[in-house]
Amino acid sequence: MAWPRIARSSLIQPGRTITSYIRKTSTVGDGAPAGDCYSTPIRNFTATTNLMQHCRLGMINQTSFGSRGIRVAPQYQFPSAADRILEDSDSENENVRLPGLEATGPNEKSRVVVLGTGWAACRLLKGLDTNIYDAVCISPRNHMVFTPLLASTCVGTLEFRSVAEPVTQIQSALATSPNSYFYLASCTGIDVEKHEVICEAVSKDGQTNEPYQFKVSYDKLVIATGAEPVTFNIKGVKENAFFLREVTHAQEIRRKILLNLMLAENPGLPEEERKRLLHCVVIGGGPTGVEFSGELSDFIQRDVHERFSHVKDDVKVTLIEANEILSSFDVGLREYATRHLTKNGVQLMRGIVKEVHDKKIVLNDGTELPYGLLVWSTGVGPSQLVKSFDVPKSPGGRIGVDEWLRVPSVDDVYALGDCAGFLEQTGKPVLPALAQVAERQGKFLVELINRIGKENGGKAFHSRGMPMGEPFVYKHLGSMASVGRFKALVDLRESKDAKGISHAGFISWLIWRSAYLTRVVSWRNRIYVVVNWATTMVFGRDNSRIG
Ligand SMILES: Cc1cc2nc3c(=O)[nH]c(=O)nc-3n(C[C@H](O)[C@H](O)[C@H](O)COP(=O)(O)OP(=O)(O)OC[C@H]3O[C@@H](n4cnc5c(N)ncnc54)[C@H](O)[C@@H]3O)c2cc1C
């Protein structure tokens, strides 16, 4: 236990800070020495400085996953969470540094702490060499969500189980290895000097009732905490809209759709109220909003017409977008999607939402739209946790990383996926918030970390000066989106302005389904998906509203 502690304090360089960076070296391709890519002292702190105050990577309340999606407004305010930790005396903090979670000793395996169980984190965990490292994964959910098929679960085309993969199935060492763990908790802060993450356990439905905090020491830290939906601070969105990022969100949407259909059939309901209940409004014409609208129109045309035939004519779907729908897709594909959705009963509207009330939305031009279900899908931005990190950010506010996904000048911290972006100094663009980016970054980083471990750089500070090898290079493979009724779009261009193959229609739908089926993480879920698709095709969707 003593070695890392000594190493840590002796290697802290007085005067180094994580708040400002000037590029010193940039060796693209040949490999750069670790920990020597960026550095410039602006603000002094020494090894004795309280890093929780001055050099913290963040000290916030946990990201709260409320019943209507990821709430930016937490149950308790950020300063109080920070204060609570700061107020805790050191001795009290020692209480929560649990045995087995302190800094690793020289004869122990190095510990990789991974924050998150999304695409990036899970790909990394899957490839982690557990002969070299112990793994500790910390996340407020214990599973990975196969997001490309999440919209299908909202209407019962797929069951929820089919898109959720427990993290312990992805990396079995988390369940079986004596010093590897999964903790159902949120990271609330990082002490980069002590190489510790501060966590708050999650209880009851993903929300912390009685905050219980503990600390975990790391040799290598991987931040893969994703992003949060952006609401542009529009009044009423968080309170009234559903987001679509988690399985729990899809469950809530499905329950709400079925509830509204059943309530609309009740006798004595004024016509206006029945129409309101049956009006589904989707805000945001990106791939998620379009795919969800397509799934809804499928559901309405087949299942609602058969099983809710008394109200079928009043069911309406409106997709509102401020600009073009599917703006990243080829223009021909956009036009195809517009025609297809309109033909299948989705009303496309140009508009900007001004405010959201519990039963209606108001657009900038004063139009009022009563709704029974509102799904908000206008893209993602940095989470509260990421915003609180006192490190240089990439354009757009994500955690800034170099070409090897390191958080420069902070030893042994890496960030990837939706929460990270290349620093401007790298000359590389911030990559889109996509699973294919997150997954490939996870693959790249785990190979790097495994190699570092094999070359005896696994312990904290031990990878300083090591050549990093080839940097991460992203090549976009293309985009796909289903638009419902056995049709999809496949755009295989590398970028928006590049030339390449694009196709829309039934063949694309087959490609879309096959491509995602092969990407589903486990054979178990692959079988679930195939069985769900087959039963939906033969028997229709399950309309029972359980729970
Ligand atoms: C409905 C939908 C459909 C999509 N379809 C596609 C598609 O077809 N193709 C594509 O390429 N991309 C798609 N995406 C985007 C893709 O899912 C994301 O880009 C991808 O999930 C990003 O991976 P990530 O690992 O960075 O973050 P995420 O997958 O979002 O994972 C973040 C993880 O961090 C955890 N976390 C959050 N806060 C904390 C904290 N404080 N402490 C610890 N853990 C924390 C979360 O619980 C979660 O486990 C889709 C997204 C959605 C929502």
Q: Which of 57, 139, 230, 254 to mutate to test the pocket of ligand 1 (most atoms within 8 A of CB)?
A: 139
Query: 500's torsion region: left (phi>0), alpha (psi -120 to 50) or beta?
Result: left
Question: Could you give the maximum distance between any two Cα atoms of the chain, in Å?
Answer: 77
- pLDDT above 60 (res 547): no
Q: Provide CATH code, domain 237-379+477-539.
A: 3.50.50.100
Phi, psi of 303 (to 5 degrees): -75, -45
Element (H, E) at 387: helix 384-388
CB 200 less than 6 A from any atom of ligand 1: no
Residues 6+ positions from 226 with CB-CB distance below 8 Å: 116, 118, 120, 380, 383, 417, 418, 419
* 3 state SS of 512: helix
Nearest Cα neighbor of 390 from 60, 150, 99 is 60
CA of 38 to the centre of ligand 1 (A): 29
- List, for residues 356-379, the tens digit of each pLDDT value: 999 999 999 999 999 999 999 999
pLDDT tens across 137-162, in order?
999 999 999 999 999 999 999 999 99
Does the C-beta of 421 come closer than 6 Å to ligand 1?
A: no
CA atoms within 13 A on the CB side of 286: 15
Query: Ligand 1: which atom is nearest the Cα of residue 481?
Result: 8
Q: Locate the ligand 1 atom nearest the alpha carbon of residue 226 and give its number.
A: 27
Q: Global pTM? A: 0.85
pLDDT at 173 over 50: yes
DSSP SS3 for 485 = coil
Inter-axis angle of helices 331-343 and 287-299, nearest 10? 30
Asked whether 415 and 92 are in contact (CB, 8 A), the reply is no
> Which residues on adjacent β-strands are paired with residue 221?
113, 413
Amino acid at site 264: A
Between 544 and 380, name the one with better pLDDT.
Answer: 380
- Judge if the beta carbon of residue 186 lies within 6 A of ligand 1: yes
Query: Alpha-carbon distance 478 to 17, whole Å?
Result: 39
**Is 63's C-beta closer than 6 angstroms to any atom of ligand 1?**
yes
- Does 237-379+477-539 match 2-228+381-454 at the fold level? yes
Q: Report residue 211's pLDDT band, with 50, 70 and 90 as the boundaries.
A: confident
Query: Above 70 in pLDDT, residue 342?
Result: yes
511 Cα to the center of ligand 1, angstroms: 23
Residue in 74, 76, 169 with CA at minimum distance from that of residue 117: 169
Residue with tokens 């609208």: 293
Cross-strand partners of 400: 421
pLDDT band per the 50, 70, 90 thresholds, residue 50: very low
Give tens-digit pLDDT for 236-286: 999 999 999 999 999 999 999 999 999 999 999 999 999 999 999 999 999
CA of 118 to the centre of ligand 1 (A): 5
The matching CATH number, chosen from 3.60.15.10, 3.50.50.60, 3.40.710.10, 3.40.50.720, for 2-228+381-454 is: 3.50.50.60
Q: Is the CB of 143 under 6 A from ligand 1?
A: no
What pLDDT score does 206 carry?
Answer: 52
Confidence tier at 542 by pLDDT (50, 70, 90): confident
DSSP state of 375: E
- DSSP output for 159-180: -GGGGEEEHHHHSTHHHHSTT-
Neighbour tally for 79: CB within 10 Å = 12
- Pairing outcome for strands 133-139 and 110-115: parallel
Q: Which of 196, 219, 208 is nearest to 52 (CA)?
A: 196
269 CA to middle of ligand 1, Å? 40
The per-residue pLDDT for 209 is: 59
Helix (H) or strand (E) segment spanning residue 517: helix 506-519
| Closest-lying ligand 1 atom to the alpha carbon of residue 245 | 53
The protein residue whose alpha carbon is closest to atom 35 in ligand 1 is 116
**Residue ranges per domain, the chain?**
2-228+381-454, 237-379+477-539
Q: Which residues contact 544 (CB under 8 A, 6 or more apart)?
A: none
Residue 87 in 3-state DSSP?
A: helix
Place of tokens 């129409």: 275
- Residue 271's SS3 state is helix
Whether 187 is in the pocket of ligand 1, judged by its Cβ within 6 Å, is yes
Chain-centre distance for alpha carbon 537: 31
**From the CA of 455, how far away is ligand 1's center (Å)?**
32
**Whole-angstrom distance, CA of residue 432 vs CA of residue 416:** 12
Percent of the chain clearing pLDDT 90 (strictly above): 74
**Angle between helix 435-454 and 119-127 (nearest 10):** 30
